[in-house]
Amino acid sequence: MGRIWIASVLASASVLGLALGLAPALAQQKQIVWSAEEQPLHDQIHGLRSLPDDVRARTTKDLALKIRQLPATENKLRLAVGLANLSTEGDFGHDALQEVATTLAQTLKEHPLPWQEPKPARGDEGKKTGATLSVREPSAPYMELASLVRYEHVDASLDVDQYRAAMAQLEAIDRKREHVEFSLKDLSGKTWTFSELRGKVVLVNFWATWCPPCRKEMPDLETLYERFAPQGLVILGISDEEASKVDPFVRERKVTFPILLDPGRKVNEMFVVEGIPKSFVYDREGKLVAQSIDMRTEKQFLEMLAKAGIQ
């Protein structure tokens, strides 16, 4: 998905254009002009992260309802996508998420988008053929809606091929995550191999020092690690940054769970991590039992861990 980048640059024409499936050249040329009705909603979305969680929950729901009443324009879709992107950064209630999903689905009905152009093939396949993938991919807003439905358990009604393709793509990605094997070194140089952790409950968390939601959930992860490590909980924090950035950050915050380095992003790609934070919980047999597409609170992490038998 890549949730954080859409929200952090909501006013950027180039990035929003890419998020809506526009060609890069068109996205860079397009100047966003907000109407008098749209501008206050845009500003409120930009300020969501500064609000206390209870106020943010009410504001998120209110914004979803207000966006739904706007005329069907590209700006309406920009606002709906931007709000959806921020709506999963914590626990703002099922009702708020449902309104966000309903607004996004309605907006996509009103303003359908073209499929993304095929991407260049990766890895050995691309080297051998020099070709692009022949299958078109759903535009980002369809993936956003599918993620809300699949991972946040809300409902959405959208009877179009792109949405169905987005749901199928998420199912395929999850199948990859069910069978993973990797080895990475932590900040002290110790190698951690996933298969050697059988018998433990493993929470794999992808994060970065520059990511505000990652920083916000880290103290809760530390609290859970201190509480449940005696019961066999292992938390592996994986960053694709250099050790020179990561080490002072975790020392300052007194993080004690293992922080693994993935500068080549091989493990990020294995898990298909295109936005952070993301967390995956595996039970003692190595089965994927829970995952999150964004920041979680301590309460939400406890619900995930309960599915692996830790409570």
> Over 50: is that where the pLDDT of 11 sits?
no
Give how far Cα 108 sits from Cα of 111, 160, 162, Å.
5, 10, 10
Give how far Cα 116 sits from Cα of 22, 31, 142, 253, 276, Å.
8, 21, 11, 41, 22
* % the chain with pLDDT above 90: 82
> Over 60: is that where the pLDDT of 22 sits?
no
Domains and CATH numbers, the chain: 3-119+134-174 (no CATH), 183-306 (3.40.30.10)
Q: Between 74-86 and 38-46, two packed helices, what is the crossing angle to 10 degrees?
A: 20
Please count the residues of the chain. 311
Give the strand order in the sheet containing 233-239. Answer: 259-261, 233-239, 201-206, 278-282, 288-292
State residue 46's pLDDT score: 96
State residue 6's pLDDT score: 39
> Over 80: is that where the pLDDT of 26 sits?
no
State residue 285's pLDDT score: 97
Q: Find, among 122, 131, 167, the residue nearest to 270 by Cα.
A: 122
CB-CB contact of 262 with 239 (8 Å): yes
> Over 80: is that where the pLDDT of 10 sits?
no
Per-residue confidence band for 23, with pLDDT thresholds at 50, 70 and 90:
very low
pLDDT tens profile 160-213: 999 999 999 999 999 999 999 999 999 999 999 999 999 999 999 999 999 999
pLDDT tens profile 226-238: 999 999 999 999 9
Per-residue confidence band for 134, with pLDDT thresholds at 50, 70 and 90:
low
* % the chain with pLDDT above 70: 85
pLDDT tens profile 83-107: 999 999 999 999 999 999 999 999 9
pTM of structure: 0.86
d(CA 61, CA 244): 40
What is the residue-averaged pLDDT of the chain? Answer: 89
State residue 88's pLDDT score: 97
Helix, strand, or coil here: 222? helix
